Amino acid sequence: MKYWAFLSYSHTDKKWGDWLHKALETYRVPRRLVGKESRDGKIPERLFPIFRDREELPVSADLGANINEALRESRYLIVICSPRSAQSRWVGEEIKTFKKLGREDRILALIVDGEPNASDGKPGFKIEDECFHEAMRYRMVDGEVSEIRSEPIAADAREGKDGKTNAKLKLLAGLLGVNYDDLKRREQERRLKRARMIAAASVALIAIFAALSVAFFFNARAARRARDEARATLSRSDFLQALRSIDEGKDFDALAQLARSLRFNPNNQAARCRLATLLIYRNYPTSVLVLKHDAVVQSAQFSPDGKKIMAVALDNAVRVWDAETGALVGNPMRHNVYVRSAQFSPDTTKVATVSEDKTVWIWDAQNGSLVTSIKHDQRVWSVQFSPDGKLLLTASPNRAGLEKVQLWDADSGMAVGKPLSAGCAQFSPDGKRIATGSEDGTAQIWDVKTGEALTGPMKHDGSIHSVEFSPNGKRILTVWVAEGGNGWAARAWDAGTGRPVGEVMKHPDDVIVSAHFSPNSKRVVTAIACLRLNSAGMVGR
């Protein structure tokens, strides 16, 4: 026969039909049963195919030829029993047709809902609960349903009864013609075997993962060891570089190298100790205030009392700031042109500025307001307050022989005395003298009150660029550029006699940007060398 079984059910029980159809066709018969003889021949590996009447036929139709043919070609009829199928005309017709084929003993029932024989007045149930169709409850005689009762073989899938799994096995036992208990035992053995195989596979996988984990652990440890060794090597390298930097006096470089060494290896005790030593026994400048400007700042200075900071920027403005808080003091002192220089008065109450429009401006340092201005007939290069703050000294160098140094009253802006022919000048520390230097190579010292020369001319072989008193007022320092391309030079002079002190400090290949006395007036520092005054011997660079 073509089909192992024909599934008969009500359309409303379709989900049960789908489940049973799949469960039967996909069931693998236990290997020990395959090939054994049964009433239907040798037991196959699978019960395939199973015919399923998927849809109910129209009420007015007879069973189709394909249905009748399928019933004839089916070894068994499985009826899915429920109150719906018990009332189904076509379920009844399929049962009757199968019985007429003489296969009444090959009808199997799967109870999914309702109660069998409830229509017999079974206590606790209603007639409507009946799940067996009348054609199943009674035998067929002469092609008609008789009054002789029939006891169909039923598997009960309801909860509390066989359940779906055991109900399926009961149906399979009936289809295969084997003992249910034997099939169930073999199914349990198969499940146990499958479970053992799964367990063995799981153990194998666990072992593999364990081996991989161990390998990963050792590889990771080796990788960490290699990484740590590399970091330790880098740490030692940076530490050695730091030692060289310390020997060369490059403490800031050493700090960076020690920090990098400890970043590579925080446990580098030598680097820790050396870093601690540098930090404890050295003083390093740190930023206390940041004074923001909108333009490039070209110079900045503290006030004489240290309470204010003045900055000159390229936006043609001079600003004063509070040195403690960083707050702006007063309004910016704005100019129409470039500001060359600015200086506080000794008492910090005023600011003198020099701009490119040939003007010296006097400002109130507290509020930034203009006090007075002093016009010149040529560009002014420098301005200086006298030590008592009463006078101003301006210098205007000029390559056309029109140099001018002039004293001014700091309050009124009026000229004091006659101008001197010089391009650079400076007050003595006591404010009683002025030292000047000119383009013609002459330096001289003058009395502030009388305007008389106190020394004879101090001759140089080139144009003088700067002149400065020593802190004790006993000497002056001049810087000039020698004629004939012989380079720059500096020299100290006795401020009382005008006589030279020591040798000329020559810089034939360099430009001297600035030169100043040491605080004890015994040494001079230029842009590139530090020399002893009396011997002009080089002591440092």
Residue 85 has pLDDT above 90, yes or no: yes
Residue 385 has pLDDT above 90, yes or no: yes
Q: Report pLDDT for 66.
A: 82
Q: Report pLDDT for 212.
A: 85
Q: Measuring CA to CA, which residue among 52, 3, 48, 51 is closest to residue 28?
A: 48
Q: Report pLDDT for 40.
A: 83
State the CATH class of domain 341-359+373-540.
mainly beta
Q: Report pLDDT for 38.
A: 85
| Amino acid occupying residue 186 | R
Residue 133 has pLDDT above 90, yes or no: yes
- The mean pLDDT value for 241-259 works out to 88
pLDDT tens column, 156-169? 999 999 999 999 99
- Going by their DSSP bridges, the two strands 50-52 and 74-81 should be labelled as unpaired
Q: Report pLDDT for 402.
A: 77
403 vs 437: CA distance, rounded Å: 10
Strands (E), 365-403: 370-375, 382-385, 391-396
pLDDT tens column, 116-127? 999 988 899 999
- The mean pLDDT value for 123-137 works out to 93
pLDDT tens column, 393-449? 999 887 665 789 999 999 889 999 999 999 899 999 999 999 999 988 999 999 999
Strands (E), 114-173: 138-141, 144-149, 153-156
Asked if the 3-178 domain carries CATH number 1.10.510, the reply is: no
Residue 79 has pLDDT above 50, yes or no: yes
Q: Report pLDDT for 59.
A: 45
Ranges in the chain annotated CATH 3.40.50: 3-178
Residue 541 has pLDDT above 60, yes or no: no
Q: Report pLDDT for 535.
A: 41
Residue 5 has pLDDT above 60, yes or no: yes
DSSP annotation of 121: T
Count of CB atoms situated within 10 Å of the CB of 80: 24
Average pLDDT, the chain: 88
Could you tell me if 364 and 349 are in contact, meaning their C-beta atoms sit under 8 angstroms apart? Answer: yes
| Amino acid occupying residue 390 | K
Higher pLDDT, 507 or 398: 507
Residue 57 has pLDDT above 80, yes or no: no
Architecture of domain 191-281: Alpha Horseshoe (1.25)
Ranges in the chain annotated CATH 2.130.10.10: 341-359+373-540
- The mean pLDDT value for 378-382 works out to 88
Ranges in the chain annotated CATH 1.25.40: 191-281
Q: How confident is the model at residue 314 (pLDDT cuts 50, 70, 90)?
A: very high
- The mean pLDDT value for 527-538 works out to 47
Per the listing, tokens 């040491």 go with 518
The torsion of the CA quartet 155, 159, 165, 167, rounded to 10 degrees, works out to 0
- Going by their DSSP bridges, the two strands 144-149 and 415-420 should be labelled as unpaired
Q: Report pLDDT for 487.
A: 82
**What is the pTM for the complete model shown?**
0.49
Q: Report pLDDT for 400.
A: 60
Backbone torsion region of residue 350, taken as left when φ is above 0, otherwise alpha when ψ lies between -120 and 50, otherwise beta? beta
Q: Report pLDDT for 473.
A: 94
Q: Report pLDDT for 538.
A: 40
Q: Report pLDDT for 147.
A: 84
Count Cβ neighbours within 10 Å for each residue of 405-439 and write b for 16 or more, e otherwise: bbbbebeebeebeeebebbbbbbbeebebbbbbbb
Q: Report pLDDT for 399.
A: 60
Q: How confident is the model at residue 539 (pLDDT cuts 50, 70, 90)?
A: very low
Q: Report pLDDT for 60.
A: 42
Q: How confident is the model at residue 213 (pLDDT cuts 50, 70, 90)?
A: confident
Q: Identify which of 144-153, 215-224, 374-383 has the greatest average pLDDT.
A: 374-383
Residue 467 has pLDDT above 80, yes or no: yes
Q: How confident is the model at residue 531 (pLDDT cuts 50, 70, 90)?
A: very low
- The mean pLDDT value for 328-337 works out to 94
